[in-house]
């Protein structure tokens, strides 16, 4: 069973279990979302078209995350005038997992597990950086974090704080001692006659 819904001025064809990226919706990660503007319901050859919406039909889902989309570049130029301007824009978008489609006396539910892992965490894992590379602002609400002090380099003597999910105590490695420099043997000067002194 599938449905065509309207949200954010756009129309989407969805079915139970789909991962849907729409214009920004209100709510925190894990909240339930209901789309009541269902324009069409279909199952096989049976199609119910609304005028403009199907009465009593609804699509429900779980809000996974709200994030910024891909960057769109805006470039302006007036030829022969030395005028060039480049700007970028990232539109806010919401990721929703569709859990059920209901209407016309039928209901189709998705029985899978909803994973609230954000795209930033998945990208960091794909690059081998782990969850600790993700800023605290994108950490899901159910995850507990603790602050761990990180030693700064000589260039910046301040102590910085990093947020990680789990930190094991690490013994400090002994500082490497620099090997003493060997004194170079003095080179013998050549005399004017080509003989060494």
**pTM score:** 0.64
Burial class of residue 116, CB neighbours in 10 A (0-12, 13-18, 19+)? middle
Provide the pLDDT for residue 188.
65
Blockwise average pLDDT, block size 10, the chain, 197 residues:
95 95 95 95 92 94 95 98 98 96 92 89 85 62 56 56 52 60 65 57
């Amino acid at each position: 069973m599938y449905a065509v819904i309207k949200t954010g001025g756009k129309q989407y064809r969805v079915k139970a279990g789909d991962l849907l990226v729409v214009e920004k919706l209100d709510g925190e990660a894990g909240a339930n979302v209901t789309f009541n503007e269902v324009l069409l319901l279909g199952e096989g050859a049976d199609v119910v078209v609304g005028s403009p919406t199907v009465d009593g039909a609804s699509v429900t889902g779980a809000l996974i995350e709200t994030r910024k989309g891909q960057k769109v570049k805006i470039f302006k130029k007036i030829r022969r005038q030395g005028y060039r301007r480049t700007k970028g824009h990232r539109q806010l978008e919401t990721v929703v997992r569709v859990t059920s489609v209901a209407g016309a006396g039928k209901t189709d539910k998705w029985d899978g597990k909803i994973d609230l892992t954000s795209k930033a965490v998945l990208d960091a894992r794909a690059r081998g950086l782990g969850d600790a590379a993700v800023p605290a602002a994108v950490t899901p609400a159910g995850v507990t974090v603790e602050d761990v002090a990180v030693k700064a380099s000589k260039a910046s003597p301040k102590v910085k704080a990093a947020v990680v999910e789990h930190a094991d105590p690490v013994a400090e490695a002994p500082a490497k001692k620099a090997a003493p420099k060997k004194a170079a043997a003095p080179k013998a000067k050549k005399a004017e006659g080509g003989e060494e002194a």
